[in-house]
Amino acid sequence: MATISISLSKDITEKVRPPRALYFGFPLGHPIGYPHQASLHHRVLRLLLRYLKDIDSPGTIVELDVTEKDNGVKYPG
């Protein structure tokens, strides 16, 4: 099974090193975004699905601004 995680803290994710992680900068308790914003949730999920395929190095954290398109910044895995 291929897995991808949301990161709510890059500091924690760098220690725990899941195979793939996306960091959007959402506050604690809001890994997929804010309540009743289905289009935002869909966008976050589509990015997770895309980076499941695109990340090719174990331990990679990608920081994304969910308000803009395709501006992923890769942190070294």
**Side-chain half-sphere of 38: how many Cα atoms within 13 Å?**
0
* Residue 74 binds another protein, judged by CB under 8 A: no
Q: What is the distance between the alpha carbons of residues 2 and 75, in angstroms, rounded to a whole number?
A: 19
Report the half-sphere exposure of 9 (CA within 13 A, side-chain side).
6
3-state secondary structure of 61: strand
- Measured from the CB atom, is 31 or 72 closer to another protein? 31
Scan residues 17-36 and list those touching another protein (CB under 8 A): 17-19, 27-36
Asked if 46 touches another protein (CB under 8 A), the answer is: yes
Amino acid at 3: T
Q: Binding another protein by CB under 8 A: which of 23, 24, 45, 68?
A: 45
Applying CB under 8 A, the residues found at the interface with another protein are: 1-9, 11-12, 15-19, 27-36, 38, 41-42, 45-46, 48-50, 52-53, 56, 58-59, 77
